[in-house]
């Protein structure tokens, strides 16, 4: 197991390095120049380029960028004078992270729970309810859900605040809007997986041992049904992360998503690459966690890692 | 052929299936899978149940421990008597207490019969601890190690911490046997325990079952569609066709004195190891009947070269064939039927 984890960690580090390199060169392939503005005198543009090191050869810029990166320095924003990217991220990260974590926990717990209940009550009311939620959740995009929730629960019924992110009440609607799609996907997947597993021979064998239905469900059915679901949780984290852009906009949450959109509009190289690296690191860490989790639930993976 | 170990004049009945009827309610109609089956099992014997695919071997014996999902399965009638109790009327809880501790089952495919996410030691002991409340973990483990030793798994104390994928097919079937036998059941149902394994391993597993029967005195129901496998294993044979029992007898009675044309067909389609010349394997022509609409008369009639008018009109009753243990459901046994020569009669083999 230790060896398996080490492998995954090394792989994650390499991925992050490749990502940082790619993002550096790809941004510079974008057409345009952050300081190219007809209203600003040529001379001032030159000065700004020199100040930010953009007049140096590309490879030298890359060297500086990587060195800074290893020191954890993401540089200065090109547009928000005097502000470091680190500072901007530090200030907005907590909101995105909070929203993301809440949504992840909510969608994983409720989604998987709903899938289990639906499968156990196949063909009954609970099952139908779960299927309806799943279809709605998958079919309706989060910005529509977000807007509708905001309209009914905040504007019409005034149960929750309309926007901002200041108290628990503020978090309810954004969390729900962001989670619904993932929750639906996980519920559907868990339901199918549960039903696949129930027809396996080892379930019959477990019953033939005289185990109670509850024992069979908990010790054999749910555990095995989780395997394919765990892999999807990794993808879900990515989906949730991207979803935060939209949801943060609808509910005016001062998170990372807002800066990302502005950074791209302004060709703010350090801001874009900084945010991408942070998002990337986050995703890679999430994937790492999922891999390790998968190793824990599926012994076949664990042992394969030990041998290879 | 081995010496029989069972003296049937003294043998005690342990399980009696009487006129069992099971149907599957599917969306295209009712499949009458089991249409009145009578089977008796004696203490400590090995009973082979043979017949073509789909004849109802698995359904009959999954009914015994009520492992069939219902729906779609529905018990339409009959009794399954175990220790004087009709299992078809037993409660869920009573059935759970019987499964594994009184009557156990080995599944057909050892590759899928073990939970891939659980150490085999735990898979074996969970049933044991379910039936022996208050047994400590250490005691259970000790018993598991003994069991693994008994089924011929080397290094049992290490192996019990391993997962199913670390075992070969044959080893997994041994694990399954240990799992089924750990609570010392009186009856072991082995549903084609070797079809998924390759030939040399098959023989080993059969030897193992044979050996275990001797050591544990468990009655074994060996379900198979291969008559050859049972020749040197079983004490008695039940031949099934289209949801009914067509012939029952001790091994010699079936192999050397069979009275049923379907059994003859099965024997012709059995590969003979001692034959040097290449012979075409005979198969029984035709297909088993549609169980949505079982025929009015003998289900084998359309495929039977001896079929008479009465065969199409009326179900053949069960006729005794000379001994208490041997009977055949075929009109040829009727005193009024024309005399035919038994193709597999001892001394007069084909
Ligand atoms: N779940 C089910 N739904 C509908 N029909 C079923 C179901 N299970 C079994 N049957 C029917 O019951 C009959 C008996 O099946 P069974 O599995 O007992 O056959 P078998 O003798 O064990 O054959 P095999 O050698 O292939 O295992 C078959 O004709 C099959 O079509
Ligand atoms: S009853 Fe008739 S059809 Fe059926 S097996 Fe006997 S002879 Fe053949
Ligand atoms: Mg079968």
Which ligand lies nearest to the CA atom of residue B289 in the structure? Answer: 1
Residue B350 CA to chain centroid, in angstroms?
A: 28
pTM: 0.81
Tens-place pLDDT, residues B48-83: 999 988 899 999 999 999 998 878 899 998 999 998
Q: Which residues of A83-94 are buried (b: 16+ CB within 10 A; e: fewer)?
A: ebbbebbeebee
| Residue whose structure tokens are 């009440």 | A169
Q: What percent of chain B has pLDDT over 90?
A: 49
**Chain B residues touching A216 at Cβ < 8 A:** none
Average pLDDT value for residue range A71-93: 85
Average pLDDT value for residue range B112-127: 92
SS in 3 state form for chain B? CCCCCCCCCCCCEEEEEEEEEEEEEECCEEEEEEEEEEEEEECCCEEEEECCCCCCHHHHHHHHCCCCCCCCEEEEEEEEEECCEEHHHCCHHHHHHHECCCEEEECCCCCCCCCCCCCHHHHHHHHHHHHCCCCCHHHHHHHHHHHHHHCCCCCHHHHCCCCHHHCCHHHHHHHHHHHHHCCCCCEEEEECCCCCCCHHHHHHHHHHHHHHHHHHCCEEEEECCCHHHHHCCCCEEEEEECCEEEEEEEHHHHHHHCCCHHHHHHHHCCCCCCCCCCCCCCCCCCCCCCCCCCCCCCCCHHHCCCCCHHHHHCCCCCEECCCCCCEECCHHHCCCCCCCCCCCCCCCCC
A43 touching chain B per CB within 8 A: no
- Domain range B13-234, its CATH number among 3.50.50.60, 3.40.50.300, 3.30.70.1250, 3.30.70.260: 3.40.50.300
Nearest to B328 by CA among B318, B338, B316, B315: B318
Which ligand lies nearest to the CA atom of residue B50 in the structure? Answer: 1
Query: Under a CB-based contact definition with an 8 Å cutoff, are residues B294 and B302 in contact?
Result: no
> Considering just the CA atoms, what is the radius of gyration of chain B in Å?
21
Tens-place pLDDT, residues B202-255: 888 888 888 888 888 899 999 987 787 788 789 999 999 999 999 999 998 998
Q: Whose alpha carbon is nearest atom 1 of ligand 2? A: B330
**Chain B residues touching A124 at Cβ < 8 A:** none
Tens-place pLDDT, residues B257-272: 899 999 999 888 876 6
**Chain B residues touching A303 at Cβ < 8 A:** 163, 165-166
What pLDDT is recorded for position B350? 46
| A-B contacts at Cβ under 8 angstroms | 84
CA dist., res. B350 & res. B345, Å (int): 8
Residue A35 CA to chain centroid, in angstroms?
A: 32
| Residue whose structure tokens are 């994928």 | B165
Residue B292 has pLDDT above 80, yes or no: yes
Q: Whose alpha carbon is nearest atom 3 of ligand 2? A: B301
**Residues with a CB atom less than 6 Å from ligand 1:** B 24, 26, 31, 33, 51, 53-59, 72, 225, 291
Q: Which residues 179-208 of chain A have a CB within 8 Å of chain B?
A: 200-202, 204-208
State whether B163 and A303 contact (CB < 8 Å): yes
CA dist., res. A26 & res. A273, Å (int): 10
A224 touching chain B per CB within 8 A: yes
pLDDT band at B273 (very low <50, low <70, confident <90, very high): low
Q: What percent of chain A has pLDDT over 90?
A: 26
Query: Under a CB-based contact definition with an 8 Å cutoff, are residues B61 and B49 in contact?
Result: yes
CA dist., res. A8 & res. B149, Å (int): 38
User: Which ligand 2 atom sits nearest the alpha carbon of residue B260?
Assistant: 5
pLDDT band at A308 (very low <50, low <70, confident <90, very high): very low
Which range of B36-40, B69-73, B152-156 scores highest in mean pLDDT? It is B36-40
State whether A202 and B115 contact (CB < 8 Å): yes
A266: number of Cβ within 10 Å: 15
A223 touching chain B per CB within 8 A: yes
For this complex, say whether ipTM is above 0.90: no
CA dist., res. A273 & res. A260, Å (int): 10
What pLDDT is recorded for position B58? 92
Average pLDDT value for residue range A106-122: 94
Residue A40 has pLDDT above 80, yes or no: no
**Chain A residues touching B180 at Cβ < 8 A:** 208
Domains of chain A, start order: 89-270 (1.10.3720.10)
Average pLDDT value for residue range B18-33: 92
State whether B165 and A303 contact (CB < 8 Å): yes
B65: nearest CB among A208, A299, A300: A208
| A181 to chain B, closest Cα gap in Å | 29
Q: Which residues 117-176 of chain A have a CB within 8 Å of chain B?
A: none
**Chain A residues touching B119 at Cβ < 8 A:** 299
Ranges of each domain in chain B? 13-234, 244-333
Torsion sign (Cα): A207, A211, A215, A220? negative
Cα dist from B296 to A167, B280, B293, whole Å = 77, 34, 9
Which ligand lies nearest to the CA atom of residue B33 in the structure? Answer: 1
Average pLDDT value for residue range B36-56: 92
CA dist., res. A177 & res. A173, Å (int): 6
B112: nearest CB among A200, A223, A300: A200
CA dist., res. A245 & res. A251, Å (int): 10
CA dist., res. B182 & res. A186, Å (int): 38
Which ligand lies nearest to the CA atom of residue B59 in the structure? Answer: 1
Looking at every residue in chain A, the average pLDDT score rounds to: 86
What pLDDT is recorded for position A94? 86
The Å distance, Cα B183 to ligand 1 centre, comes to: 29
What pLDDT is recorded for position B5? 65
Tens-place pLDDT, residues B92-109: 999 999 999 999 999 888
Please give the structure tokens belonging to residue A55.
Answer: 């007049």
CA dist., res. A219 & res. A217, Å (int): 6
State whether B107 and A201 contact (CB < 8 Å): yes
CA dist., res. A261 & res. B238, Å (int): 76
B91 touching chain A per CB within 8 A: no
Q: Whose alpha carbon is nearest atom 12 of ligand 1? A: B33
Tens-place pLDDT, residues A241-290: 878 888 888 888 888 887 888 888 888 888 888 888 888 888 888 888 88
């Amino acid at each position: 197991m230790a060896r398996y984890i080490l492998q995954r960690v090394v792989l994650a580090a390499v991925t992050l390095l490749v990502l940082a390199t790619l993002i550096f060169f790809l941004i510079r392939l974008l057409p345009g120049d952050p300081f190219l503005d007809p209203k600003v005198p040529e001379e001032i543009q030159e000065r700004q380029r020199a100040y930010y090191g953009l007049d140096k050869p590309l490879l030298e810029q890359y060297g500086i960028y990587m060195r800074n990166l290893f020191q954890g320095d993401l540089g200065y924003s090109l547009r928000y004078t005097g502000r470091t990217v680190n500072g901007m991220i530090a200030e907005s990260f907590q909101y995105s992270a909070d929203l993301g974590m809440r949504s992840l926990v909510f969608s994983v717990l409720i989604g998987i729970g709903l899938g289990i209940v639906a499968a156990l009550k196949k063909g009954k009311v609970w099952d139908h309810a779960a299927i309806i939620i799943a279809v709605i959740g998958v079919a309706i995009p989060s910005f529509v859900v977000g807007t509708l929730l905001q309209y009914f629960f905040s504007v019409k019924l005034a149960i929750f605040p309309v926007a901002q992110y200041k108290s628990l009440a503020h978090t309810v609607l954004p969390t729900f809007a962001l989670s619904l799609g993932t929750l639906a996907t996980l519920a559907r997947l868990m339901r199918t997986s549960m039903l696949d597993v129930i027809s396996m021979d080892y379930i019959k064998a477990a019953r033939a041992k005289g185990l109670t239905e509850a024992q069979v469900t908990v010790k054999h059915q749910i555990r095995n049904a989780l395997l394919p679901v765990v892999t999807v949780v990794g993808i879900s984290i990515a989906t949730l992360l991207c979803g935060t852009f939209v949801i943060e906009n609808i509910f005016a949450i001062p998170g990372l998503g807002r800066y990302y959109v502005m950074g791209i509009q302004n060709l703010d190289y350090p801001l874009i690459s900084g945010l991408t690296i942070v998002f990337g690191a986050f995703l890679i860490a999430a994937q790492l966690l999922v891999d390790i989790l998968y190793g824990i639930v599926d012994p076949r993976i664990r042992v394969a890692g030990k041998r290879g | 052929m081995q010496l029989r170990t069972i003296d049937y004049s003294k043998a005690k009945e342990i399980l009696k299936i009487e006129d069992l009827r099971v149907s599957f309610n599917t969306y295209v109609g009712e499949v009458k899978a089991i249409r009145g089956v009578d089977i008796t099992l004696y203490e400590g014997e090995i009973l082979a149940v043979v017949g073509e695919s789909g004849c109802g071997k698995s359904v009959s014996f999954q009914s015994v421990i009520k492992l069939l999902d219902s729906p779609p399965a529905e018990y339409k009638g009959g009794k399954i008597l175990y220790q004087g109790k009709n299992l078809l009327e037993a409660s869920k809880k009573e059935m759970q207490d019987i499964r594994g501790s009184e009557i156990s089952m080995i599944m057909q495919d050892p590759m899928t019969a073990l939970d891939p996410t659980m150490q085999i030691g735990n898979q074996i002991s969970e049933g044991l601890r379910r039936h022996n409340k208050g047994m400590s973990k250490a005691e259970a483990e000790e018993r598991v190690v003994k069991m693994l030793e008994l089924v011929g798994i080397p290094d049992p104390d290490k192996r019990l911490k391993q997962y199913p994928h670390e075992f070969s097919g044959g080893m997994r079937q041994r694990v399954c046997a240990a799992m089924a036998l750990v609570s010392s059941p009186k009856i072991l149902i082995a549903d084609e325990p070797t079809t998924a394994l390759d030939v040399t391993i098959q023989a080993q597993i059969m030897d193992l079952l044979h050996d275990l029967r001797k050591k544990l005195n468990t009655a074994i129901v060996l379900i198979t569609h291969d008559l050859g496998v049972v020749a040197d294993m079983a004490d008695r044979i039940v031949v099934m066709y289209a949801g009914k029992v067509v012939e029952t007898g001790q091994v010699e009675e079936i192999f050397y004195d069979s009275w049923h044309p379907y059994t003859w067909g099965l024997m012709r389609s059995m590969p003979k190891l001692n034959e040097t010349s290449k012979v075409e394997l005979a198969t029984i022509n035709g297909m088993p009947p549609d169980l949505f609409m079982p025929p009015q008369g003998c289900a084998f009639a359309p495929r039977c070269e001896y079929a008479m008018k009465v065969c199409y009109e009326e179900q053949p009753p069960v006729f005794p064939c000379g001994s208490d243990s041997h009977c055949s459901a075929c009109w040829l046994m009727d005193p009024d039927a024309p005399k035919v020569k038994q193709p597999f009669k001892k001394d007069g083999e084909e």
